[in-house]
Structure 1
Amino acid sequence: MKFFDYDKNASNVEYYEILEDLMERWEHEIVELKEAKGGYDADKIGCYFSEISNEANLRNQQHDRLVFGVSEKDKIKHVVGTAYKKGVVSCSW
């Protein structure tokens, strides 16, 4: 299913493809998708990092994901964007 449009020739196309895949499967033990349009509580972020990294470790997975700027309203998934901490953060344990 296609959730948003993007340039398939963009230099960072892999990020769009990862987001499409994550939105297709939605949330599970090692993926959290949050709206966070303007900000998010730092304590909650710490808890999410701890929870999903522990789950990734237990499942012998190299990556986990916490993605801001994605919403599910009226059971429709869509990208809403975020102004929180612009840039990509990726953690591998």
Structure 2
Amino acid sequence: MGNTRGRIGWAWAVGIGAVLVALLPGVATAAPTASADRSDTIKCHSLEVDGTTVFGYDCGTEQWGVLEGFTLAGSGGRQFRCGEGWAEGSLWVRGDDCERIR
């Protein structure tokens, strides 16, 4: 016969897990992404430009991860509108497909 109590417990846990996934699909499938939508402009102490890529260092943001449609502003007044990028909190922000607007 073996350990039927262990198999029943495992089956019960799988069943409960399936119910939770069905009831809470957003929690089970959400991917962590950051969006610059909350504050469209990210201000950084210094900016470094390489073609259409702009790196900002010592930035005033706590966002981590993917960014879309945002503005990077430097302490000297330069601003760049970027289509996408990546943020590592206040350490640095990278903007791709950027265009200077000031």
Q: TM-score, structure 1 length as denominator? A: 0.21
Which of the pair has the greater relative contact order for Cα pairs under 8 Å at 6+ separation? Answer: 1
Of Structure 1 and Structure 2, the greater strand share is in: 2
